[in-house]
Amino acid sequence: IVHFCLLDEVHESYHGKRMSMPLYKIKKVKSSNGEIQLRPSIKVSVEFFGKKYKSVISLTNRADMKFPMLIGRRFLNDRFLVDVSKEYETKNKRDIK
């Protein structure tokens, strides 16, 4: 079992609750500075545009980084087309309903 908090105290959605989930496996991950790290990973269900997907995510401390979570290329591959010139498309689609 792994224990973690989803967000840092400075994030507006921070609620301070510690989460616990079964450890899926320990993965080797190359960090942004090129260093290989061993990270715990968990199996989760995520929702995009109203559809749920199963995925494996690795856990790391992102307190000093701009985004609290990254979506991996392997998860996006063959599912989504990313237009980097646009932002917050899910919010726009939700507002249309």
Q: What is the pLDDT of residues 67-94, one digit of tens each?
A: 878 888 889 999 888 888 988 776 655 5
Task: Tell me what pLDDT residue 65 has.
Answer: 81
The count of other CB atoms within 10 Å of the CB of residue 42 is: 19
Quickly tell me which residue has 């792994």 as its tokens: 2
pLDDT, tens digit, for every residue of 18-71? 889 999 999 898 887 889 999 999 999 988 888 999 999 999 888 788 887 888
Per DSSP, 24 falls in state -
At 49, list the tokens. Answer: 């545009």
**Structural element, H or E, at residue 64:** none
